[in-house]
A and B are shown apart, each in its own frame.
Chain A
Amino acid sequence: MKQKVYKFIFLLIMLLPFCINAQQKTIDGKVTIENNIPILGAIVHVKNTNNISTTDGEGMFKIDAPNEGIIEISFTGYISQSIPVTSISSPLMIQLKEDIARLDEVVISGLSTNIKRRNLANAVATISAKQLSGIAPAQTFDAAINGKIPGAYINASTGAPGGGVSVKLRGVTSIFGNTQPLYVVDGVFMDNSSTSGGLNAVTSASSGGNSSNQDNPSNRIADLRAEDIANIEILKGASASAIYGSKAAAGVIIITTKRGNKDKTNISVSQDLGFVKVRKLLGTRPLTRDIVLSQRGWDVNEYDAAVASGKVYDYEKEIYGETGITRNTQLSLNGGNSTTSFYFSAGTKKEEGIIKRTGYSNSSFRLNVDHKVSENIKIGLSTNYINSSADRGLSGNDNAGITLGIALSSTPSFTELHPDSKGNYPRNNYASSNPIETRDKMENNESVNRYLTGINAEAILQKSQRSLTKLIGRGGFDFYNLQTKALFPGSLQFQQINRGTSIQGNTNNLNTNYIFSMVNNYSPTNKLLLITSAGITQETGRYNNLLNVATQVIEGQSNVDQAGALTSTQFRTRNTDNGIFAQEEVSINEALNLTAGVRFDKSSNNGDFSKYYAYPKAGLSWNLTKMSFWKMDFFDNVKLRSAYGQAGNFPAFGSKFTSLSISNIDGLPGSVVSTQRGESGIKPERQTELEFGLDLGFLKGRAGLEITIYNKKVFDFLLQDRVSASSGFTTQWINAGDLQNKGSEIGLNAIPVATQNFKWNTSINFWKNRSKVTKLTTGPVQLGSLAGVLLGTFQLEEGKSATQIIGLTDEVVNGPPIKVWGDQEPDFQMSNYNEFVFKNKLSLRVLIHWKKGGENVVFTNLQSDFGGTSPDWDADANGNKIPDGLDRIMLIGRSAVNSVKSSSYLRFREIGMYYTFDKMKVKYLKSIQVGVSLNNYITITKYPSYDPEVSNFGAGFSSGLDVLPYPASKRAAFHLIANF
């Protein structure tokens, strides 16, 4: 291993030619776009050098270049132009054309190298700042990417303020390993874990045999402020992400935040004001005296009294029907000079939820500074401080009957839950808790203080006309402290046993990472470019979670010492992962691009912590239009591409040990063997991905089509296998088998209309994925559901889809008792983004998202049937003279037909309309933009529960479970942006 690296570096040295001094020439000029509008911040670059200049507010620039050099002018979203210095007569006037197919977009090709999309071998999706937060902003960053990434399947684990989003790229990556992509923000690996607030102590949600996290905590990437983001690149599978090695199996999302320009300072202030409302309410059962009489256990006298006094309520509406006010303020400063530039932003948002006493707030400061120490050395610094707080209420699955949803499901409208004049809440005779009381008294807060700092240093070690060698060091840290606080006062109905519970959690997490790499660009001839890069990486993680559960808490107190009993748990993880990588990119005549690379990784989490695992990759793209034989004028770009790569997924921390848990009695400390058996030989999962694609550009750059097919295979996937419990263990980590995902992604970008006064910009994406378990060393495994086949459960089975849902059936033709009721995987998804611009001033942006097919396991509606509160309980849709509610209850135990439901939808995800005033009367004010937006406002679906994009069992494998969630909300806002 070490020898290989040495050899490689030696080779690198051999490749370096001598330095050549050249004669310099000063060029000035102006860069404009259509209608001769000057642009600010266009990049003027002398090729193969570090010599870069940017345009000012009038589009003007000035740069020194050698006589034999080539000047390249580029601007995000526009086709760049290259001009040999010899042919330039100053001043240089350049007009850039819009890059619809985004061929000139610079995307990542390695850990420290970039490539233009024109030459890229992979399908890398990108999201611009405008698409991310410029249509109709979502509450958190991760919710804002939904519908914008072809190949992604995104669900919310809860509608509660503060987020909780699961992002899955290209199908099933892992069953029990990490399924969520790696987030890299300005070179810093940003932690995206979810830490439970310990609510299980009151809800007992996972006491019934399911170990998945049912507290619906938010995931920490939600802390990031979308307004600060300039660009997002998504590496969806191993063929693109292999260079991130063993962390990249679930894909990598690379986020670049905004940076300063080299011009006079711009100040921008934006203010949003809006509201959130529940997307949908299920309604309650209309009652009559006969219905009350027929429902066992309901008190008809209570009903009569309630009707007589007019005290019949709609508790669902009362609890979920609040209108929350949202506000968001952002101040950003952006400026600099030729050596130093900066971007500073301060933002604060505060939002109320659709349930009283829930809400979210986030405040953030960011300072990004770039400094040129000398001609050859550049340093960039990105710092971010975030403070966020979310009051999340109490929802979702529980086995104690106390969450708002479960309590509501059995509470009839005629019972009185409101406090009397002295503030005493009545006991709910129909459920374990009084949801109004619970809402008014309990607290469930997550608050975060987080610091991210990234540093990026580039030094040119050598440059000549034909060669450029850079040393790049990049690294940083991400530290956060998360406090969770859940408080249930002793006066609550369900606190009669515990007499007050206070759950206080404290989590510290520190991630660090660095990359040192050397990059050499060498072009022996004008037609050949070789980019060689090699380097080392290290990532470390330390996580420490301390959770205190105090019961018998003194009334009015929350400190855990103000209590009669206290139970503490602590959980720590620590890992160090090291990597070595090398990559070679060859570009021949800008037509043929070849890439080959390899990364070697080891981790302290592996069974063998000193073993290196190799992750190779290779790519090839062939641009036919650059070939001399190409004669078809209709196409301006035709590219064939193919890429292959491998990536891994580490085993979970501690999976190699058989440990003993604490189990005390009567003040004596005890140890009892853990239910999880360790596997000392545990290996990382390995993924290979092969991707083919065809990119077309036609209609003179007005349209671009991208077609990609992939085959992603996962080998040795980790399974927390259920073992014979008579061994004393219930689970064991094993490398259980293989699975594959085949899919396709098609994207079309076009400008159908472009006139002086009206422009229409559209993009359509289509994506689908099919998974299959190709090998399973154990028998079929049911996992991750509520009540097994009774309501529907996932079952891993060789030869079948990895996300099939099986359940009981009474249909004789299907061979009872069990059949496949559905699949969590959608048939396909489509999204359509349109931007209409009138007179360059008024802009209407609409994002539509269609998900066809895919089933959820829905328990929410059945729960209301059990409680006798479902709105259609007394309907008789099938005409059998038996109320439908009873019909559905009677089918439980025979068929899962009422709990496996299609989650198809068509959603107007984001609609935004903005108007820009740019001829301002006051001199210091450059422009004002006003807008209105609607987020998730209109949904067309037959889905019976609150929202089809639900995943109440968290961000792991088992998504699409719907158990009395915090209902999803829709948002509307007014926007005002002033630029100074």
Chain B
Amino acid sequence: MYKSYTLSTILLFLLTLFIASCDKDYGNLNNPTVDSYYNNANKSQLNNLVTGTESAMRNSLGFYLDDIGIIGREIYRFSNSDPRYYTDLLGANDAQLQSTGFYIVNVWASRYRVIKNCNLLIESANKSNLISDSERKAYVGFAKTIKAYQLLLVLNLTNKNGIRIDVSNPDQLGPIVGYDEALSKIADLLDEASNDLVSAQISFPLSSGFSGFNDAAGLIKFNKAIAARVAVYQNNWDKALTYLNSSFFNLNGNFNSGVFNVFATGSGDQLNPAFFPQNSAGEARAAHPSFSKDIDSNDDRISKATLRTTPISNSGLTSDRDVWVYKNNTAAIPIIRNEELILIYAEANIQKSIFSGAVTAINIIRNGHRLANYSGAMTQSALIDEMLLQRRYSLFSEGHRWLDVRRYNLLNTLPIDRANDDVWSSFPLPSTE
């Protein structure tokens, strides 16, 4: 009796000792942790970050294109499940853009997530002893270029409300800087990146979206193209032309050469979020009626908005044309392509009053879309109108029109569909900022 009792007591006591001494930490079972990258990351880890960066650039891209397309009155986004496409974005009645709306929160967060990844890539490349200096410069140059591009996309939405540039320390985020300062910081970052890339040796793979641009020289050309776009936004026309010359700009080249977000059905990959089949009901992207109203009857860009079998309506909006820019779920979405560069060339020349150069470029675009040469007035304002018109149709649904009319203070010329609708000029910063 006593024996068994004493025995059990000892057993219980030993058990207590045993469990008290065995501490369990299972680590993270599901994925790598950030800490592991700071600790002398190897090349394949860094390459994973490059790919992750490139891949994540596509997150919320559909929302970004919808934001610019809807406010710029290029498209309607029909949806039975979210009224905010008709209310907030079009400013129906008293509706405002909300600082908690998915249209800004998701896009903002997705872009800064890529920026975070770029910062992690820069930091871990700088801390790694397992790569050469020229390899390091390649990682850093790539990361800075993408970072600058992502910052530009956010700034495009928030406009005068500004963005944060310095976000490397999550506990001490840098200040929110205004539009002009942000643009100049982005331009500087692009310059830094291209300096890094000059002596870089690329040892990471890129997707087919970068085909033709996946070496150091190619990445510099991509970097300069983005820099040219930034220079245009800064109204710095000389700089725009300089950048154009070191980019892949080619007046007589293929409109569609450039760098793209690509999509595929592979595991962990993404499908084109801006694609909807033609004649979709319920959820659909349809062209704003003004698209077909304003287009020249010969213009082949009408094929970007195909006629529906039946019109689609909701909340007082109706359209009979689908957006048909992305024709399947793996169609690429341009980051920047030659057609835009040709139009940047035209714009810079107009602004510098070199009308002949501008008209040459405009005619290349017009002829490329089955239109006769430009025959309008050879004045700056007439040419600006023409350039904006060509940009509207050439870059339809690629995220430009709203920005273009805003740059030229023409937001009030955009068509209003319902009496109390508004045309917004900037998105509010997310409420969490």
Residues from chain A with a CB closer than 8 A to the CB of B114 are 672
Q: Is the CB of B164 within 8 A of A669?
A: no
B131 interface residue (CB < 8 Å to A): no
A13 interface residue (CB < 8 Å to B): yes
Count residues on chain B whose CB falls below 8 Å from chain A CBs. Answer: 104
Q: Is the CB of A671 within 8 A of B52?
A: yes
With A406-B81, A564-B265, A722-B432 known as contacts, the answer to whether A657 contacts B28 (CB < 8 A) is yes
Q: Is the CB of B267 within 8 A of A725?
A: no
A666 interface residue (CB < 8 Å to B): yes
CB distance from B163 to the nearest CB of A (A): 7
- Out of B58, B79, B173, name the residue touching A727 (CB < 8 Å): B173
Q: Is the CB of B268 within 8 A of A565?
A: no
Main secondary structure of the interface of A (DSSP, over half): mixed
A106 interface residue (CB < 8 Å to B): no
Closest B-chain residue to A893, C-beta based? B95
Q: Is the CB of A726 within 8 A of B173?
A: yes
B376 interface residue (CB < 8 Å to A): no
With A665-B262, A670-B51, A789-B98 known as contacts, the answer to whether A13 contacts B16 (CB < 8 A) is no
With A297-B312, A566-B267, A728-B170 known as contacts, the answer to whether A670 contacts B52 (CB < 8 A) is yes
Q: Is the CB of B82 within 8 A of A208?
A: yes
A575 to B25, CA, bound (A): 8
Q: Is the CB of B87 within 8 A of A892?
A: yes
A286 to B375, CA, bound (A): 57
Q: Is the CB of A660 within 8 A of B31?
A: yes
A789 to B31, CA, bound (A): 35
B413 interface residue (CB < 8 Å to A): no
Residues from chain B with a CB closer than 8 A to the CB of A722 are 432
- Out of A13, A430, A730, A788, name the residue touching B9 (CB < 8 Å): A13
Q: Is the CB of A659 within 8 A of B30?
A: yes
Binds B, one of A305-313, A396-404, A641-649, A703-711: A396-404
Closest B-chain residue to A469, C-beta based? B5
Residues from chain B with a CB closer than 8 A to the CB of A726 are 108, 112, 115, 163-164, 167, 173, 433
* Interface mask (A1-13 → B, CB under 8 Å = 1, otherwise 0): 1100110010011
Q: Is the CB of A889 within 8 A of B24?
A: no
With A787-B84, A866-B80 known as contacts, the answer to whether A664 contacts B268 (CB < 8 A) is yes
CB distance from A17 to the nearest CB of B (A): 13
B29 interface residue (CB < 8 Å to A): yes
A834 interface residue (CB < 8 Å to B): no
Q: Is the CB of B54 within 8 A of A670?
A: yes
Count residues on chain A whose CB falls below 8 Å from chain B CBs. Answer: 107
Q: Is the CB of A788 within 8 A of B100?
A: yes
* Interface mask (A757-789 → B, CB under 8 Å = 1, otherwise 0): 000000000000000000000000010000111
A604 to B276, CA, bound (A): 46
CB distance from A395 to the nearest CB of B (A): 13
Q: Is the CB of A670 within 8 A of B48?
A: yes
Q: Is the CB of B33 within 8 A of A893?
A: no
Q: Is the CB of A659 within 8 A of B277?
A: no
With A671-B52, A893-B88 known as contacts, the answer to whether A399 contacts B264 (CB < 8 A) is no
* Interface mask (B228-260 → A, CB under 8 Å = 1, otherwise 0): 000000000000000000000000000000000
Residue among A5, A469, A609, A666 having the largest count of chain B Cβ atoms under 10 Å: A666
A609 to B28, CA, bound (A): 13
Residues from chain A with a CB closer than 8 A to the CB of B25 are 604, 609
Residues from chain A with a CB closer than 8 A to the CB of B267 are 565-568, 664
Q: Is the CB of B26 within 8 A of A665?
A: no
Q: Is the CB of A399 within 8 A of B82?
A: yes
CB contacts under 8 Å to B, within A295-343, are 296-297, 299
Residues from chain A with a CB closer than 8 A to the CB of B96 are 893
With A667-B266, A672-B113 known as contacts, the answer to whether A462 contacts B433 (CB < 8 A) is no
Residues from chain B with a CB closer than 8 A to the CB of A609 are 23-25
Q: Is the CB of B432 within 8 A of A725?
A: yes
CB distance from B366 to the nearest CB of A (A): 34
CB contacts under 8 Å to B, within A1-43, are 1-2, 5-6, 9, 12-13, 19
A398 to B37, CA, bound (A): 37
A461 to B267, CA, bound (A): 61
A677 to B109, CA, bound (A): 13
Closest B-chain residue to A728, C-beta based? B116
Residues from chain A with a CB closer than 8 A to the CB of B282 are 401, 407, 410, 428, 430-433
- Out of B79, B98, B432, name the residue touching A788 (CB < 8 Å): B98
Closest B-chain residue to A430, C-beta based? B281
Binds A, one of B201-209, B347-355, B385-393: B201-209
CB contacts under 8 Å to A, within B160-217, are 163-164, 167, 170, 173, 205, 207-209
A469 to B8, CA, bound (A): 12
CB distance from B174 to the nearest CB of A (A): 9
* Interface mask (A568-609 → B, CB under 8 Å = 1, otherwise 0): 101111111010100000000000000000000010100001
Q: Is the CB of A409 within 8 A of B264?
A: no
Q: Is the CB of B16 within 8 A of A401?
A: no
Residues from chain B with a CB closer than 8 A to the CB of A654 are 28-30
CB distance from A260 to the nearest CB of B (A): 28
Residue among B30, B33, B271 having the largest count of chain A Cβ atoms under 10 Å: B30
Extra A-B contacts (19), CB below 8 Å, given A669-B268, A789-B98: A406-B81, A407-B282, A497-B277, A518-B12, A536-B12, A570-B30, A609-B24, A659-B30, A663-B52, A666-B208, A671-B51, A678-B34, A725-B430, A726-B112, A726-B115, A727-B170, A728-B116, A730-B432, A893-B87
- A residues with a Cβ closer than 8 A to B are 1-2, 5-6, 9, 12-13, 19, 208-209, 296-297, 299, 397-401, 406-407, 409-410, 427-433, 459, 461-462, 469, 471, 496-498, 516, 518, 535-536, 538, 551-552, 564-568, 570-576, 578, 580, 602, 604, 609-610, 654, 657-675, 677-678, 722-730, 782, 787-790, 810, 863, 866-867, 889-890, 892-894
13 A-B residue pairs with CB within 8 Å:
A209-B105, A428-B281, A431-B282, A497-B275, A565-B265, A572-B30, A660-B32, A660-B33, A668-B47, A670-B268, A724-B430, A725-B433, A782-B100
* 4 A-B pairs closest in CB distance: A728-B116, A297-B313, A565-B265, A670-B51
